[in-house]
């Protein structure tokens, strides 16, 4: 059995097949739906259309995370100040 000092295992392979996405077609469909709604041609289906607001949801999520982090930092500083004050009082006596 030969000794291999510089043996590097091969990476695992998988069969990835990307889906086809036509950005121009999607934009054209969105424009058609918007124009139909503006002209009143598609009023019965205009209530059922779901338009995801991913960008707005991410902003909202990041704002809540930022607020939570700020509150956590403030809480930690208050606790540290109280502990230092209590330690000062105990060592002073």
pLDDT digits 0-9 by tens, 6-63: 777 788 888 877 788 788 988 999 999 888 888 877 655 545 566 677 777 888 888 8
69 and 60 Cβ atoms separated by less than 8 Å: no
pLDDT of residue 51: 66
Q: How is the chain split into domains, by residue range?
A: 20-51, 53-93
CA distance 70 to 58: 18
Residue 90 pLDDT greater than 90, yes or no: yes
């Amino acid at each position: 059995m030969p000794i291999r000092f510089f043996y590097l295992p091969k990476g695992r392979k998988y069969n990835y097949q990307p889906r086809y996405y036509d950005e121009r077609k999607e934009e054209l469909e969105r424009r058609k739906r918007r124009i139909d709604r503006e002209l009143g041609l598609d009023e019965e289906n205009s209530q059922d259309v779901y338009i995801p607001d991913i960008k707005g949801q991410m902003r909202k999520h990041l704002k809540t995370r930022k607020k939570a982090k700020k509150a956590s930092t403030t809480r930690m500083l208050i606790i540290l100040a109280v502990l230092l004050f209590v330690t000062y009082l105990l060592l002073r006596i």
